[in-house]
Amino acid sequence: MKPFPWQHALWRQIIDLADRNRFPHALMLSGAGGLGKEQFAKALTARMLCRTPGEFACGECRSCRMLTAGHHPNLLTIEPAEKGRLIRVDSVREANDFVAQTAQQGGYRVIYLQPAEGMTIAAANALLKSLEEPGSNTLFILLADIPSRALPTIRSRCQRWTFAIPDEAECLPWLREKLGNDEDARFWWRVAGGQPLLAVELGQGESRQLRQTLREVFEALVRGAEPVAEAARIDRQALSSVLWYGIAWLEDLIRLGLSGETAQIRNSDLLPLYRQAVKNGRVRDWFRLLDYAREQRRLLAAGSNPNAQLVLESWLVRWAALLRS
Ligand SMILES: [Zn+2]
């Protein structure tokens, strides 16, 4: 496994540290979810465990083969039991036991933990103990989409590596391969706010269709359609994505409304609709709606269980009111 093409500079820096034995015992890799930091972390794990590494793990030694087969005695992976749940203290206690043992056949031990901001308080406190007394040849790799939500005492014990939004040129060849052509690659990269993995996810299959539907709803609302009737066209399971697009489009609107410039617009195909909305709306109201959308998304992510259909309708009613105010 290798890092993605846009991660090569960061990879060189981190490998350089490892090769000079300057590696800390804990890293926190942070950055938006669609930048591919999991793959980077896995490539790094493989290289740390590899017995004959070059720039990357060799892929052929006994250690690499064990890793490929899905079990390595010197690797412990800690993740929530289910997506969206918190990491519990018993998982972290496993890490403490693991750290207390000696690495098999010498070499490094790696504890891979994600998401670092998704632990119970008890789990985070248990982890602190290991981070303070990690033993030799032990590397903790923690991943966080939003590091500010991780416990400060955990953050401060890790060396932080931040994944920034890559330049278009760094990810364009990869995106072209995934999405088929240059035009789609550029378009979805911008829609995804520069996150390549997210661009591929949004630009394919049902996600691609969802954006098309939302665009049609946007057009209909600008023409004066009834929002509750429009809500019926949208799958309520997609609420989180609907709000994600709502936020992105509002941010576009605010950029356009404040500066009048189009260079920073992420959804250029919506420009005619934005212009119409800018003519009718007021920036203050867009900020208010933006807060509403962010709050609803936060509630959804926190697993509080709002009535999705109701939130969807309420969102479109507000969005429509803003387009016509
Ligand atoms: Zn190897």
| Residue pLDDT, tens place only, 201-214 | 999 999 999 999 99
Residue 269: both structure tokens together:
């195909």
d(CA 247, CA 307): 20
Residue 1 pLDDT exceeds 80 = yes
Separation of CA 282 from chain center: 31
Residue 65 pLDDT exceeds 90 = yes
CB 249 within 8 A of CB 218: yes
Domain ranges of the chain: 5-162, 167-203, 206-323
Per-residue pLDDT averaged across 80-95, rounded?
Answer: 89
* Contacts for 61 with CB less than 8 Å, ≥ 6 apart: 50, 51, 52
d(CA 1, CA 70): 13
CA of 101 to the centre of ligand 1 (A): 23
On the CB side of 31, how many CA atoms lie within 13 Å of its CA?
24
The correct answer on CATH 3.40.50.300 for the domain covering 5-162 is yes
CA of 220 to the centre of ligand 1 (A): 57
Taking alpha carbons only, the member of 109, 111, 91, 115 closest to residue 30 is 115
CA of 139 to the centre of ligand 1 (A): 17
d(CA 112, CA 141): 5
Does residue 126 or residue 105 have the better pLDDT?
Answer: 126
CA of 34 to the centre of ligand 1 (A): 28
d(CA 186, CA 285): 31
* Contacts for 266 with CB less than 8 Å, ≥ 6 apart: 190, 191, 193, 248, 251, 252
CA of 7 to the centre of ligand 1 (A): 21
d(CA 288, CA 170): 36
Tell me whether strands 159-162 and 75-78 are parallel, antiparallel or unpaired. Answer: unpaired
Please tell me whether the overall predicted TM-score, pTM, comes out greater than 0.95 for this model: no
Residue 137 pLDDT exceeds 90 = no
CA of 145 to the centre of ligand 1 (A): 29
Residue 104 pLDDT exceeds 70 = no
**pLDDT band of 252, cuts 50, 70, 90:** very high
**pLDDT band of 154, cuts 50, 70, 90:** very high
CATH class as words, domain 206-323: mainly alpha
Residues composing the chain: 325
Amino acid letter, residue 170: E
d(CA 22, CA 16): 8
**pLDDT band of 103, cuts 50, 70, 90:** low
CA of 62 to the centre of ligand 1 (A): 7
pLDDT at 325: 61
CA of 27 to the centre of ligand 1 (A): 22
CA of 283 to the centre of ligand 1 (A): 56
**pLDDT band of 22, cuts 50, 70, 90:** confident
